[in-house]
Each structure stands twice: as C-alpha cells, then as structure tokens.
Amino acid sequence: MIVRPQQHWLRMLFVWNGSVLQAIMPQLAIMLGVSVLAVATGGRILGEKMLLSTAPFTLCGVALTIFLAFRNNRSYDRYWEARTLWGNLLISARTLTSQMLAYVPTGSHEGSQQFDRDAFVRSLMAFAYALKHQLRDTDPYDDLEPLVGAARAIALKGRQYRPVAILNDLRTTLGALHKRGALDGTQLWMLDAQLNELEKIVGGCERIASTPIPFAYGVLLHRTVYAYCFLLPFGLVESVGVFTPLITVFVSYTLIALEAIAGDIAEPFGTAPNNLALDAMTRTIERSLLELCDEPVPAEVVPGPKYRMT
C-alpha cells in the first residue's frame, strides 16, 4: 500500500505510482486503436456501416455505472473490514501486553521454570507476523526466528494455522500461571478475553481471504465494461468525428480503472499498491509492544512505492 500526504490538485493529475493506470495501459492502447479504426473507416466493419447512436450508450452507461458502484462498494467493505480487524489486533496486543506487565510478578513461575514475560510478548509479536504470512501465503521463518528462536520457528513453519498455534501456546502459558497461583481467576479471565479477541481477528481475516466476491459478478462486469468500450467509438464517430479516440480513451480509462480498483481492494491482504500495508502494520505492533516493555524500538516501516525504513 502507498500512503502519501495530501497532494496538490495539479500533482494529482500526474501521479503514476499507486494508480492503476500503469496496469491498464495495454487495454487503453487497444481502445485507442479501435477508436482510430472507427474514425478511419467511418464507423464501418467489413464494409458495413454500424448504425449506432449515442442514446443506447447513455442508457447502458447509467446502468453500468450503478453496477460498478455496487461492485466497488462491496470491495471497499471487504477492505475496510480487513483494516478494522488489524486495528483491533493492535489494540488487543497492546492491552494483553500491558495486562501481563501489570498483573504477572517478575518472579512468577510457570511449572518448574521462571516465567519469561519478554518471551510471552515476543510470541505475541510473532503472532502478528504469522498471521500476515498466512494471509499472504508466504514463508514466515525470517520474521519468526528472531522472535521465538530457530527451533520454534521451524516447528511453526510446519503448521497449517500458525497464528492459532501461537495463541494456543499463550493460553497454555496463562493456564500454567493460574495453576501456580501467579494469576487469580479474575486476572486470568481478563487476559483470556484478549486472546479470544485475537482468535476472532484470525477468523475474520480467514473469512475475507477465503471468501472472494462471487466469480459471476466479476465475469459479468468485466464483459459488460469491455463490450461497452469496444462499441463506444462506433456510436460516437458520427457525432464527434476525429475526437472519438480522445473521448473513447477517457471513458474507457474511467470504467476499466474502476473495475481494476475494485479487483485490487477486494483482496486486501495482497501486495498490490492499493492493498493493506501489512508489513508496516506488523512492524507498528512490534514497535508498540517493545516500547511497553522498555525495550529498544526498531525502525519504522513507511509504506510507499517500495517499503522503506525510517
């Protein structure tokens, strides 16, 4: 994801990185070629004049715009729900860390070993990274190894649902502390409630990732947009003449770009410029938890054309 401060109106006209223009340039080039052909032939195909007027395109354009708006709204709902889930993940992780620091004494014992609060917090950071990699179907080892150690990272790499496995370990740790008397029933309930919230977040993210917008919607919209754009120059050539390519490309850019944006944000966990900046979000969670523990904070990841460190 690319995050920028508010741009000047003139500069916005020429923004390249983060727009979908570079992805749809081939389609626009084809539309330009079709419209030039329509002008050159006077609106004829194989010698036959296509008797099209602008009226049908006006009616179809209104219906197509409504359909595009519906698709974009549904796609943005998925995007915003995903962003809300990750915002709640940050809140729950901070709350759980703060509660652990406040309620669990430094000398507490888990079983026969002294409880390591720092290891608990690092496992919480590992949970965020594991969820990111599960949603992107990428290798988590490089992010997990510094937090939980090589042996545990290798073990987690072999699991199908790594975030759930980490949460299970954290709950097991809390249960052991409760049995040893380091946590009373109320404190255990408060800490376990945050683990429940994290489990709900995992489930919500899995639901978005595994349930795309029905394929039939995408096919219908895609076919309708391209049919409209291909026929448009033959309906305009009689009324606007040599300006047909300009108008056709402009209208095609609007419709095809809207379809492309809807496709991008409907899958919010990817790595496209308009997807969620999960690399930056996981680093923010790590930084926030380390600061609560009075530990050195790593550099921030700033979303941009390429993620960079500050």
What pLDDT band is residue 239 in, cutting at 50, 70 and 90? confident
Could you tell me if 162 and 305 lie in one domain?
yes
Per the CB < 8 A criterion, the answer to whether 91 and 292 are in contact is no
- Which position has the token pair 């947009």? 225
The average pLDDT across 281-308 equals 83
pLDDT of residue 310: 44
95 vs 114: which has the higher pLDDT: 95
Q: Is 19 among the domain residues?
A: no
User: How does pLDDT run across 266-282, given as a tens digit for each residue?
Assistant: 999 998 888 899 999 99
pLDDT of residue 255: 92
Q: Is 299 among the domain residues?
A: yes
* All residues at 6 or more sequence positions from 111 whose CB lies less than 8 Å from its CB, including other chains: 176, 180
CA angle 300/306/309 to nearest 5° reads: 20
Tell me the pLDDT of the chain averaged across its residues.
Answer: 87
Rounded to whole angstroms, the Cα distance separating 172 from 299 reads 32
Could you tell me if 113 and 239 lie in one domain?
no
Q: Residue 209: pLDDT above 50?
A: yes
Could you tell me if 194 and 248 lie in one domain?
no
pLDDT of residue 113: 56
pLDDT of residue 106: 67
Q: Is 203 among the domain residues?
A: yes
User: How does pLDDT run across 143-176, given as a tens digit for each residue?
Assistant: 999 999 999 999 998 899 999 999 999 999 999 8
**What's the total number of domains in the chain?**
2
Could you tell me if 203 and 241 lie in one domain?
no
User: How does pLDDT run across 15-73, given as a tens digit for each residue?
Assistant: 767 678 888 999 999 999 999 998 888 877 776 776 677 777 888 888 888 888 889 99
In the chain, % of residues over pLDDT 90 = 55
Alpha helices in the chain, H assignment, sequence order: 9-12, 21-41, 54-103, 117-136, 141-148, 150-157, 162-179, 185-210, 215-240, 244-265, 278-292
Report the C-alpha dihedral over residues 70, 75, 80, 86, rounded to 10 degrees: 160
Could you tell me if 185 and 168 lie in one domain?
yes
CA angle 210/257/218 to nearest 5° reads: 40
Could you tell me if 34 and 119 lie in one domain?
no
Could you tell me if 56 and 84 lie in one domain?
no
Look at residues 216, 248, 310, 217 and name the one whose alpha carbon lies nearest to residue 3: 310
Rounded to whole angstroms, the Cα distance separating 126 from 157 reads 12
CA 204, distance to chain mean position in Å, is 13
Could you tell me if 106 and 238 lie in one domain?
no
Look at residues 161, 157, 154, 165 and name the one whose alpha carbon lies nearest to residue 195: 165
Q: Is 17 among the domain residues?
A: no
Could you tell me if 99 and 247 lie in one domain?
no
Tell me which residue range forms the domain holding 66.
Answer: 24-78+213-265
Per the CB < 8 A criterion, the answer to whether 259 and 101 are in contact is no
User: How does pLDDT run across 121-147, given as a tens digit for each residue?
Assistant: 999 999 999 999 999 999 999 999 999
Q: Which two tokens stand for residue 27?
A: 């389609």
Q: Residue 110: pLDDT above 70?
A: no
Q: Is 186 among the domain residues?
A: yes
Could you tell me if 159 and 258 lie in one domain?
no
Q: Is 66 among the domain residues?
A: yes
3-state secondary structure of 252: helix
Q: Is 178 among the domain residues?
A: yes
Could you tell me if 120 and 172 lie in one domain?
yes
Could you tell me if 224 and 255 lie in one domain?
yes
Q: Is 108 among the domain residues?
A: yes
